[in-house]
Amino acid sequence: MASWETMSEHACFGGVQRFHRHASSEIGLPMRFALYLPPQALGGSAQRVPLLVYLAGLTCTEETFTMKAGAQRLASELGLALLMPDTSPRGANLAGEADAWDFGVGAGFYLDATRAPWAAHWRMESYLLEELLPQVAAHAPVDAARTGLFGHSMGGHGALTLALRHPGRFRSVSALAPICAPSECPWGQTAFSGYLGADRSAWDAHDATVLMRTQRAAPYPQGILIDQGLADKFLAEQLHPEAFEIACAAVAQPLTLRRHAGYDHGYYFIASFVDDHLRHHARQLKL
């Protein structure tokens, strides 16, 4: 299976949860990812199944969603493969790399850095689009033409921006508590300044709200789903879903933005609504 090293493998709801490591040519460092294959993709009657890619948030790895969200149960029922890449390059030993844990530069942000020293390895957009997804499509029993994308927080930002930046590549998109306007929040400003420099015009290409404003027609006419907790301590300063909501309305992009009283930013929130997201993607991927 490509040049992937299988680090562990676990039977899970009739399917198999695997954790892999491989040498990434785009990143120039080893990268890890998790792949769940449902029972429909295994055995003598195996078939190619739709693929749903989950992008995790700032302090997470390929293990976080895989182990905490409980998504495999419904993915098994729906016949949906799940791909969970790591969020960021690791092990480059750059000054400031560890600041990812303090919400600074170092977290991947699902873009290609253009500024030294980050540009050498921080190429998460190219890694995902040009390396990992083609490898998974070539070597796993998935149907690349039926690929959906979703994520949480920084990963929600990644899901929205990559879906808008690469029309036709993803058939469905959703997000949980996404960073919707990174150019206007401290997390995004820190990352964009470090990776892209001070020219804010370069930031626009990686800001979901700005990207949606530039659309001439609804890019996802079947609809985008976003869930947001109202007890999320990052909501007012960092996330700005209302800005994305306004941008969607301006171009007639159907958006279901659900606001939930009492829910915070963590994985209890994600686990509470992840099934709705899997069903959202299953409908659009025509399972």
For the annotated catalytic residues, the residue numbers are 153, 232, 265
The candidate with the shortest Cα–Cα distance to 36, out of 94, 81, 88, 99, is 81
The candidate with the shortest Cα–Cα distance to 207, out of 227, 232, 226, 180, is 180
Q: In the chain, helix, strand, coil percent, each to 5? A: 40, 25, 35
Task: Return the bridge partners of 83, or none.
Answer: 35, 53
Distance CA(127)–CA(134), nearest Å, equals: 10
The candidate with the shortest Cα–Cα distance to 21, out of 10, 35, 39, 40, is 35
Tokens of 17: 């949860």
Distance CA(56)–CA(281), nearest Å, equals: 17
Query: H/E element holding 136?
Result: helix 133-139
The SS3 call for residue 232 is coil
